[in-house]
Amino acid sequence: MAERKALRPRHMMLLVITSFLLLVVSLWSSRSSSARIHPLTEAPLAGVPDPLEGSFGTMTPGEETKTQPGPGAGRTTVRHRVQPGDTLSTIFTSLGASMSDLRKIMEADAEYLALATLQPGTEVRLSFNATGLLTEMALEIDAARTIFFTRTDDATFEYRQTESETRWVSEVLRGTIEGSFYASALRAGLTESQIASVSQLLEHQVNFRRDLRAGDRFSVIIGQEMAGNESTGKNRLEAVSLQLGSDTHTAFRFEDGNYYDLNGKSVLPAFRRWPTNTPYRVSSPFSRNRIHPVTGRKAPHNGVDLATPRGTPILSTGDGIVQRIGNHPYAGKYIDIDHGNAYKTRYLHLDRILVRKGQKVQRGHKIALSGNTGRSTGPHLHFELHINGTPTDPLKAEIPTAADVPTALAKRFEKEAEFKLEVMTRAGSRSNLMLAGTRGTSD
Ligand SMILES: [Zn+2]
């Protein structure tokens, strides 16, 4: 380490960039291997005849389950890679597990809803003891995360999640405006959601319809989450730079998860105004004295009703912790989020809740799908904002704005931002990649 400290900054930069290029190789190779979808495979225990053998596919070398010495002896594990169109029922049936155990696992999942969002490519593992009793279901959600449902007694399964250490590596994408920003960014290799993020980050500085001219340039750093040498599939924007004539607009992600411009000023308000991706018609406004549409009685309406069709993604309007989820005869399925300080939000009549009590959410986190549950005249979202315990009109209230980078961290932010800007400026195209790893870049 003392040796490295002696290196001059330019040498240091070259060293770092070389290491990044090595990392990009591992990123691409891991991507191609994770894109490989395994067919249905089973891994019978060595020496124990597999009752399912012959019914499904072939064994894949390297996926065999090892015999557990001691109490785990006699255990058999069968595996299935979720395919489009699969349901847990069909998977359980094909792997020889019972519907009653599936119901018990679904019951255990009620607080977590991990099974409600089962994705193709996820590996499902079912373990049976020597008598054929299902003892555990494991879901490999991605390269870093696995969820387990473990039998505790005859009637119940217990949920737990493990997470291995991850790190972020980055790539630079660069492009020139020809036509719309959307089309230009797609050509540069950004995904639709990354384009939406860029627009959101810069929408307070740039009018994307009016301000862009052919030939204007943009550059982004995309972070990819890695577990070992494998991508988990998660990515995020690390930095964006948009050059309009002589003006450069930037946003940099900092360690607090917020985005700031080159001067350390927040580019986003701390709260979203709308709990949806796009605004919806207000079907009933906030009111201290409203005639209730169902009861006909006068009562305060402590939120706004938004005419969201069933299934509309509902987003947390700020960073916070899920304080409460529930199913109320009148409010239907609901979520309360505590945003710290003076702010709370509440979302009612949901169709499906995608978070659990105590979970940390970030601004824009998809927390639910809207619905028509509880006492309701039709599909809509009832949305409340409480400031210091008092319901306030969420569409008119002064919503809090994010602070700038704290003074104590300003130097660090400045260094990071300047480095990212340098990386974005130097990279020419996807074929000229530089990676900015966060850890272990020179080992
Ligand atoms: Zn309402």
Choice between 78 and 73, residue whose per-residue pLDDT is larger: 78
With CA atoms as reference, report the closest residue to 105 among 141, 139, 140, 146.
139
Alpha carbon of 402 to ligand 1 centroid (Å): 28
pLDDT at 158: 86
350 C-alpha to center of ligand 1: Å? 12
If asked whether residues 158 and 177 sit together in one domain, one would say: no
> Do residues 109 and 193 share a domain?
no
Which CATH number do you get for residue 356? 2.70.70.10
Q: Please state, in angstroms and as integers, the Cα–Cα distance from residue 282 to each residue in 279, 349, 383, following that order.
A: 9, 15, 11
User: Residue 397 C-alpha to ligand 1 middle, in angstroms?
Assistant: 17
> 373 CA to middle of ligand 1, Å?
12
- How many angstroms from the chain centroid is the CA of residue 162? 17
| CATH code, domain with 71 | 3.10.450.350
User: In terms of domains, do 151 and 187 share one?
Assistant: no
**Domain stops at, among 147, 163, 179:** 163
- CA 301 to centroid of ligand 1, rounded, Å: 6
Rounded mean pLDDT of 27-50? 30
Angstrom distances, CA of residue 156 to CA of 153, 205, 415: 6, 54, 52
How far is ligand 1, taken at its centre, from the CA of residue 276, in Å?
16
Sign of CA dihedral 333, 339, 341, 343: negative
User: How many angstroms separate the alpha carbon of residue 355 from the centre of ligand 1?
Assistant: 22
Alpha-helical regions (H) of 356-435:
410-426
Number of domains in the chain: 3
Boundary-marking domain end, from 126, 141, 163: 163
Q: Residue 287: inside a domain, yes or no?
A: yes
Sign of CA dihedral 76, 81, 83, 85: positive
Q: Judge whether 188 lies within some domain.
A: yes
Which residue is it, tokens 């590996």?
A: 123
Q: How far is the CA of 366 from the centre of ligand 1 (A)?
A: 20
DSSP string, 81-105: E--TT--HHHHHHHHT--HHHHHHH
**305 C-alpha vs ligand 1 centroid, how far in Å?**
5
pLDDT one-digit tens code per residue, 234-247:
888 899 999 998 89
Query: 309 CA distance to ligand 1 centroid (A)?
Result: 15
**Cβ density class 81-120: b for 16+ within 10 Å, e for less:** bbeeebebeebbebbbbeeebbebbeebbeebebbeebee
Claim to verify: residue 143 and residue 69 sit in the same structural domain: yes
Asked if 318 contacts 271 with a C-beta cutoff of 8 angstroms, the reply is yes
Between 50 and 386, name the one with better pLDDT: 386
Q: Is residue 276 part of a domain?
A: no
150 lies in the same domain as 242: no
pLDDT > 90: what percent of the chain? 44
How does pLDDT run across 277-325, given as a tens digit for each residue? 989 999 999 988 777 676 666 667 889 999 999 999 999 998 888 888 9
Q: Which of 214-218, 362-366, 389-393 has the lowest mean pLDDT?
A: 389-393
- What distance in Å separates the CA atoms of residue 112 and residue 356, rounded to the nearest whole number? 5
Q: Are residues 385 and 341 both part of a single domain?
A: yes
Give the pLDDT score at 304: 95
Residue 1 has pLDDT above 70, yes or no: no
Whether 273 maps to a domain, the answer reads: no
Please tell me the predicted confidence (pLDDT) of residue 179.
Answer: 94
Output the pLDDT for position 435. Answer: 46
Q: Is a pLDDT exceeding 60 seen at residue 412?
A: yes
* Residue that has been written with the tokens 């990212």 in this structure: 420
Which residues 6+ apart lie within 8 Å of 365 measured at CB?
315, 316, 355
Q: How far apart are CA 194 and CA 131, in angstroms?
A: 50
Query: What are the tokens at 40?
Result: 């249905």
Instruction: Give the residue numbers spanning the domain of 137.
Output: 42-163
Given a cut of 80, is residue 38 above it in pLDDT?
no
**279 Cα–ligand 1 center, Å:** 16
Cα(273)–Cα(278) distance, integer angstroms: 10
> Residue 218 C-alpha to ligand 1 middle, in angstroms?
43
Edge to edge, the sheet with strand 259-260 lists 167-176, 217-227, 230-244, 247-253, 259-260
Q: What would the mean pLDDT of 188-207 be, rounded to a whole number? A: 84
CA 29 to chain centre: 23
- Supply 140's token pair: 């490999």
Is 136 found in the same domain as 84?
yes
What pLDDT, on the 0 to 100 scale, is given for residue 196? 76
Distance 85 CA to ligand 1 centre (A): 36
Looking at the structure, tell me whether residues 118 and 219 fall in a common domain.
no
CA of 344 to the centre of ligand 1 (A): 16
Ligand 1 geometric centre to CA of 296 (Å): 14
Whole-number Å distance, alpha carbon 262 to ligand 1 midpoint, is 42
Instruction: Please name every residue paired with 263 in a beta bridge, in sequence order, or none if there are none.
Output: none
Give first-to-last CA distance, the chain, whole Å: 11
The neighbouring-strand residues paired with 150 are: 136, 158
Residue 397 lies in a domain: no
pLDDT range class, residue 355, cuts 50, 70, 90: very high
**Same domain (yes/no): 292, 384:** yes
Q: How far is the CA of 207 from the centre of ligand 1 (A)?
A: 34
- pLDDT, position 71: 52
Q: How far is the CA of 370 from the centre of ligand 1 (A)?
A: 13
Give the per-residue pLDDT at 427: 67
What is the CA(396)–ligand 1 centre distance, in A?
16
Amino acid at 276: T
- Report which of residues 111 and 366 the model is more confident about: 366
* d(CA 284, ligand 1 centre) in Å: 7
Q: If you measure from the C-alpha of residue 302 to the centroid of ligand 1, how many angstroms do you get, rounded to a whole number?
A: 7
Q: Which pLDDT does position 405 carry in this prediction? A: 86
Ligand 1 centre distance from Cα of residue 274 (Å):
15
Task: Give me ligand 1 centre to Cα 71, in Å.
Answer: 55
- Residue 30: what pLDDT? 32
Of residues 117 and 250, more confidently modeled = 250
